[in-house]
Structures are given as C-alpha cells and as structure tokens.
Amino acid sequence: MQKIIKRRSSLSIPSIELPDHIPSILQRIYASRGIHSEKELTNDLSLLLKPENFKQLTEAVNLLCEALAQQQRILIVGDFDADGATSSALAVLALRAMGVSHVDFLVPNRFEYGYGLTPEIVEVAKSYAPDLIITVDNGISSIAGVAAAKAVGINVLVTDHHLPGDELPAADAIVNPNQPACEFPSKHLAGVGVIFYLMSALRSALREKNWFAENKLREPNMAEFLDLVALGTVADVVPLDHNNRILVEQGLRRIRAGRTRPGIKALLDIANRNAANLVSSDLGFAIGPRLNAAGRLDDMSLGIQCLLTEDEFLARDIAIQLDDLNKDRKSIEQSMQREALESLASIHLQESGLPFGLCLYDANWHQGVIGILASRIKDRYHRPVIAFANTDNEGEIKGSARSIPGLHIRDALDAVAAKHPQLLSKFGGHAMAAGMSLELKHLDDFRQAFDQEVRRQLEEDDLQAVVFSDGELTQKEFNLELAHQLRVAGPWGQHFPEPVFDGVFRLVQQRIVGEKHLKMVLAIDESGKQLVDAIAFNVDTAQWPNQAVDRVKVAFKLDVNEYQGRQSVQALVEYIEPFMT
C-alpha cells in the first residue's frame, strides 16, 4: 500500500548536548529518539536499575531461599515463544548454579493446553512432584491454575511482564513490574528480564547468608546469563528503554566476544551470522524466528534444550532441527498469506471497502502461525488485524491480534468484552499484540463488534501507513564509516528504531533475486557516477521489477554488505515507490 514518508527532522526535536566525537547526524538521530544526555547512551551495567523497587521481591526471594534450604523440587512453567524459552533456560541454569538439586521445566503445548499455568497444566505438573512452581513470562492471568496448584499443596511464584486483569492470582508471591503498586521504574522488561532480576536478587540474598561458601559453590556471575536476556528481550519486541538497552548491549558484547551458550552460537552459525559483528536485529530476525518455530509448529521444549545444553554437537543438531521447523513455518505462512490476500481482495472490491479492524479465519489455517499472518496483513493494510484458526476443542477458535499505533489492542478487546460479554471466552496481551478464544458461532458478531470498536478509536487518517525518516543523506555520507557507526550506535529496537533515511534516486539496475527480493543499483548523484547497491526484501513481484520506472523514492537503512571479504555500502530499502516528476 502507499505510504507517507514523514521526516523526524520536521517534528519537534529537543536540543541536547553530546560530546563532539559523536557525529552531528547521530546527535540529531539520538535527539529525535528522546535522548537528553550522554548518560542515556552509556550502556554500562553500573547504570542498570536496581531490583529493590519490585513489589513482593522480598517475599519471592524468601520463598526461593526456603526452597534452597529444604532442597525442594522446583518446576519452571514457561511460555512457548522465544521470551518464554530464554526465561525458562535462564531460570533453570541460575537455580542450578545456586545449588538447587531438583529443577525442571514444563512448557504447555499450545495446541493441547493453550497459554499459561492452567488447571490442566497443573495436572501435568503433578507428575514432576514439585514443591514450588515458578512461572516465567506468564502467570499474571492464571487465576484458576494458581488456585489448582495451591489446592494440591504446591507453592506458586509468578514472574511475568504482561498486563494484569482486574483480578490477580492468589500466588505466594508475584514479581511483575506491571502489577498494581509496583514501583520498579521500567515497565518494559521482557519476561526474561523479570526472571533475571529475580535471580540477581536471590544471588545477593544467598551471598549475605554465606550460602555459597558454606556449600562450597562458586557464586554465579549473573552477567553470564545476559546473552539469554538480550535474545529474549529483542525477540519479544518490548520497548528498548535505557534499562533494556543496557541489558541488550551487554548481552551482545558477550556474544560478540564468544562468551555465549553453545545453543545461541549454533543458531547463529545455522543462520550464517557472524557473532563478532552481531547487532540486535540479528537476534530479532535470525535467531528469534528459529527459536519460535519450535513453539509454533512443535514443542518449545526443543528450543529450551538448545539453550540449556553444554554439548556443542548436540546444540548444532538441535539448531538444525529448529532451522528445518522454521523453513516449514515459512512455507505454511506463505500459503496462509496467499489465501488471506485473496479473501481480502474480494472484500476490497465491494463498495463498503475494508473494515477498520480486520478479522480473518480459515478452517485449515495453522494456529501456531496465525500471529505471524496477522502481523504480515497488518503491515500490508495498516490496520488492526486478528487472524483466527480452529483449536482442538469442537466449535472453538483461537485468535492472534496485531495492532497499529493509536489502538491499544488489549484495551480494545476489553471494551468489546464489556459491551458484549457473551462473545469472548478469554483474552489477554499487550498494546500491540494480543490473543483470544471464542466460539466459532460468535465470529460474525465479534467481527462487527471489533470493527465498531476500532472505528470508535481510529480515524481514516490513522489507517495511512507512515514511514518515519531521519532525513536525507548527502553524497559524502554514503560511506562505510557512517554505515559502521550506525550499526553499533544502538542497540536499536522497538521505540528506539534504527535510523532510516529517504531520498529520490535514479534506478540504474533492477532484478529479482531469491524469488521475491528486489536487487537494485541506485545513482545518488545526477551524473550517475556515484552508485550504491540496494535491496528491498519481499516485494510485490506483480509490481517489481518495473522497467518503465527510472526514478524511485525510497526509505532505507544504511548498512554494510560483506561479500568475499570485501565490505561495501548497501541500502536496505524499507519502502519504495515510483517517482514521477
């Protein structure tokens, strides 16, 4: 769809004072992202927020200290995405390092049990005979599951980062920066960040008790777990506030230096990523999807085992399995996307046009892939999208939602549920993503109610996609030095986006590579003497290449392309349209 390129330089950007060694273009970029001082660009561990302001942190640590002292059996119950996998692996590794003899993990199979600590999962958990269940990246909405565990004498410690509902579970302790009255300043931690903080607080408490010396244990260095924290934080697409940038940058530094888990190293190798030059986008686009593929198509236990193993050969073997699953996921997703686009094309031809809020359903769609499908359709049509698939329960469907700026999707679902309490069986999520279940017979009514709620909150102009640009680059700025500076100037991510530039260029060459990627050569000066390679991924091959177009307007990232040991500047095109004079 047609997009508007809006330059950040035309917005209100505060003036800041940064050291002269930071190029002026980077100073402008930082200012547009809300940076006010050099301190906010310093990603040292010494600046990491302290855990003391977490609500119920003391109760949680005491619960864990008692479990250690009594050598209780601990079971980690995680989520089936990359954040859940890294959270589970970190919890297991940290607890083992602190002397827990019996710690295991359990991830609900999304196709059989759904999300979180449910009563059904508690039944499965009972076979592990746990004294204590610790939820990671879930649990804040597990009212019935926590009650079921407590009813059979199992203590429950909830660690989560999702938004709570009106009622909290009756757990022995809850650690969640988003629970009511929690004064921890950063509300944007991923699940792996929350469990990292809790394990750090436990380590400190055990040190004060002289636990490590008395039990002849090496006191764990919590920095050794930061590779997992970085991976889970980036993969979960949480906002990269300063605290999260510290966690991600420190994890990236460890991975670049080779101090990482064998599983992460194996996944990087499979994805053909050079660990020495790793940036946050590599975690999000290369490692995260391969890890997520296990939870989408099979069992996330496979991904957790990849992160846990110390055996490099086993890690490589599991990484290959995860890569194969990811290839299968891509194939399934592409088929579903074609079907969704065909359906939407027929709707688009009607006089009424597309709804503001899209609800898509097909009885044959794979429920593990509907989240990605919703994201792809949202990107294409720039409106909130919910994709539905059948579940194993007769007559029930499951939906995965993705939103656009201006609509808090969980709150929108809450509003629909308040007006139409009979429609949704359950729901939960974030501002930009959510999940839900409902009966198939209610789908048409829900479609109408959802569209009405979206129309209540959004205007027609809100459905116009915008690409935010940091302005034009001069001819001199198309150089390797700036490209390298931009790569390491982050870490970039959600709410702290990687710099994007725009301009009009003469299109010298264009061809399709890898089925649907548009490889181009652009002239960045009028004479055509200064050329730059460019690539746009996943273009509409019905529109490109277009030999009738000789000038294009593009929004792009300046990147470093390395081929056969030679580095060159490359433009990674985010958006392209023909330019007519």
- Among 240, 229, 243, smallest CA distance to 51 is for 243
| pLDDT given for residue 351 in this prediction | 46
Read off the pLDDT of residues 267-294 as tens digits, 9 standing for 90 and up. Answer: 999 999 999 999 999 999 999 999 999 9
Backbone dihedral angles phi then psi of residue 225, each to the nearest 5 degrees: -100, 5
Is residue 446 a contact partner of residue 438, using CB atoms and an 8 Å limit? yes
- Among 110, 113, 139, 164, smallest CA distance to 430 is for 164
- Tell me the mean pLDDT in the region 370-394: 94
Is residue 245 a contact partner of residue 496, using CB atoms and an 8 Å limit? yes
| Percent of residues in the chain assigned helix, strand, coil, to nearest 5 | 45, 20, 35
- Among 371, 372, 54, 46, smallest CA distance to 193 is for 54
Q: Domains of the chain (ranges plus CATH)?
A: 7-36+467-578 (2.40.50.460), 50-322 (3.90.1640.30), 354-463 (3.10.310.30)
| pLDDT given for residue 430 in this prediction | 80
| pLDDT bucket at 455, cuts 50 / 70 / 90 | very high
- SS3 call for 31: helix
Going from the C-alpha of 279 to that of each of 255, 406, 410, 487, the distances in angstroms are 10, 29, 31, 7
| pLDDT bucket at 345, cuts 50 / 70 / 90 | confident
Is residue 511 a contact partner of residue 519, using CB atoms and an 8 Å limit? yes
Q: How many CB atoms lie within 10 A of CB 513?
A: 9
- Tell me the mean pLDDT in the region 194-219: 97
- Distance separating alpha carbons of residues 163 and 165, to the nearest angstrom: 7
Show the tokens assigned to 97. 């390092």
The answer to whether the peptide bond before residue 497 is cis (omega within 30 degrees of 0) is no
Percentage of the chain beyond pLDDT 70 is: 97
- Tell me the mean pLDDT in the region 319-329: 96
Show the tokens assigned to 141. 């909405």
Lowest mean pLDDT among 188-197, 221-230, 419-428: 419-428
Is residue 430 a contact partner of residue 163, using CB atoms and an 8 Å limit? yes
DSSP state of 235: H
Bridge partner residues of 505 (DSSP): 552
Read off the pLDDT of residues 534-577 as tens digits, 9 standing for 90 and up. Answer: 999 989 888 999 999 999 999 999 999 988 778 999 999 999 99
| Angular region, 495: left φ>0, alpha ψ -120 to 50, beta rest | left
Show the tokens assigned to 131. 């004294």
Question: C-alpha 561: how far from its chain's center?
Answer: 25
Those residues whose C-beta lies under 8 Å from the C-beta of residue 141, and which sit 6 or more positions away, are 116, 162, 164, 165, 169, 428
Query: pLDDT averaged over the chain?
Result: 93
Better pLDDT: 149 or 37: 149
Read off the pLDDT of residues 461-510 as tens digits, 9 standing for 90 and up. Answer: 999 999 999 999 999 999 999 999 999 999 999 999 999 999 999 999 99
- SS3 call for 187: coil
Residue 369 has pLDDT above 60, yes or no: yes
- Distance separating alpha carbons of residues 344 and 340, to the nearest angstrom: 6
Read off the pLDDT of residues 221-268 as tens digits, 9 standing for 90 and up. Answer: 999 999 999 999 999 999 999 999 999 999 999 999 999 999 999 999
- Tell me the mean pLDDT in the region 292-317: 94
| pLDDT bucket at 529, cuts 50 / 70 / 90 | confident
Is residue 207 a contact partner of residue 191, using CB atoms and an 8 Å limit? no
| pLDDT given for residue 230 in this prediction | 98
Residue 349 has pLDDT above 80, yes or no: no
Rounded to the nearest 5 degrees, what angle is found at the Cα of 179, between the Cα atoms of 175 and 183?
80
Going from the C-alpha of 470 to that of each of 338, 508, 539, the distances in angstroms are 34, 24, 23
Bridge partner residues of 557 (DSSP): 572
Residue 14 has pLDDT above 90, yes or no: no
Those residues whose C-beta lies under 8 Å from the C-beta of residue 153, and which sit 6 or more positions away, are none
Better pLDDT: 80 or 536: 536
| pLDDT given for residue 13 in this prediction | 56
| pLDDT bucket at 200, cuts 50 / 70 / 90 | very high
Residue 37 has pLDDT above 90, yes or no: no
